[in-house]
Amino acid sequence: MSAQDLIQTLAAKYNLEEGKSNDWYLCHSTHCITKTGAEKIRLAEGVQHSFPVPVVTENSIAYLATFTSKGGTEVHEVGSCRWDGKANNPSRTHAHEMALKRLKVRGILALVAPAGQIYGSDELTAEYKQHGQASVTMDATQSAPVAVAAVSGTTAYTNGEAMTIPPEGTQGWYDGAENLPQQWNGVMAKLCELTSDDRSKWEMKIVDHLGVFHKDDGTNWFPSSKWGSFAHMAGFTSTYDGVTKSKAKYSYRILKLTRELVDEVRDLGSATIKVANAQGGMDEVKILRKDQKQQPSAPQELVDSAGITAPQAPKTFTPDDIPF
């Protein structure tokens, strides 16, 4: 479903009115939900969230929370804001409030529009609202324009989604890494289409499966214990002893392996991942293609003998990949 079709579906379902001062509007090529629009959806879906947990760095604030719909669907989201910009704007003067507003709208949208095609209006900075995003010129063989990141200062916008670019020389960062969240959204949309499952069901479970670190004491460390979303992880930086490090390459490795996993679901009908259990260990679960769910009576030994389930090779990481 295109972003245009999705926003029209949401507007019809939740009685959202178009307009910047109403519930939703189109900003350049980005469909935005306002705070009033998000509140209508929240009331209709009975959305509740846990108490926001703050994460403060020397130049930013982030809040993490778990959002739950009346149907019991859960998503973990993060809203963040940097206050180290030069412009005297709300991001600098009211960073905490901006981060909280972004968190609440993101959480609501993650429950009703998990493909990540609709954004909260507070996600867009004044620069993007004024100038929009760049796109490459189509040649005769292209059927559609390809969106690329438009960079303003230290912030990039990919299809309207803002991501801070760290300073030059940051370890673990690479040119084009600002596109990681949008690339991830595309992979998750493909998985949702293949499985008919909500994005929230598998997203962080897959990240934990591919990014788990097995400690020497036998316990496991999971990325979801530190980051509420892939985008938060991809944009995360830390500075120690004057050295700034990014998790962009670490996130790209997870993105690449997730693509392979989604291809496995598409081609083989299922993929096996390991998810955290209450004891701190990991249990195997299967991600099933939607047509496989319609045949629950097939004997498991027949499925296995047909080669539908491919064994998962253990993922190995070098010391540089250790995420803490």
Matching CATH number, 1-134+149-165, of 3.30.390, 2.40.50, 2.60.40, 3.30.1490: 3.30.390
Give me the chain's average pLDDT, please.
78
pLDDT digits (tens, 9 = 90+) for 98-113: 888 888 998 898 888 8
The overall pTM is greater than 0.95: no
115-129, 269-283, 297-311: range with lowest mean pLDDT: 297-311
| Closest-CA residue to 82 (of 105, 52, 62) | 62
Residue 134 vs residue 256, higher pLDDT:
256
Length of the chain: 324
160 Cβ contact partners less than 8 Å away, ≥ 6 residues apart: 27, 28, 29, 30, 32, 119, 123, 124, 128, 133
How far apart CA 212 and CA 150 sit, in angstroms, is 33
| Closest-CA residue to 7 (of 120, 123, 107) | 120
116 pLDDT tier (thresholds 50, 70, 90): low
Residue 117 vs residue 252, higher pLDDT:
252
pLDDT digits (tens, 9 = 90+) for 69-94: 998 888 888 888 887 776 677 777 88
Residue 240 vs residue 149, higher pLDDT:
240
What's the confidence (pLDDT) of residue 242? 79
Rounded mean pLDDT, 15-23: 90
Residue 300 vs residue 207, higher pLDDT:
207
pLDDT digits (tens, 9 = 90+) for 168-199: 788 888 888 888 888 888 888 889 888 888 88
Domain ranges of the chain: 1-134+149-165, 168-316
Spell out the alpha helix ranges (H) of 163-220.
180-195, 199-211
What's the confidence (pLDDT) of residue 75? 86
55-59, 67-71, 235-239: range with lowest mean pLDDT: 55-59
The CA distances from residue 250 to 128, 163, 181, 211, in Å, are: 28, 16, 13, 8
What's the confidence (pLDDT) of residue 131? 63
CA end-to-end span of the chain: 38
pLDDT digits (tens, 9 = 90+) for 141-163: 333 333 334 443 344 444 444 55
How far apart CA 144 and CA 137 sit, in angstroms, is 10
With 70 as the cut, is the pLDDT of residue 228 above it? yes
Q: Judge whether 35 and 41 are in contact, CB under 8 Å.
A: no
What's the confidence (pLDDT) of residue 144? 35
312 pLDDT tier (thresholds 50, 70, 90): low
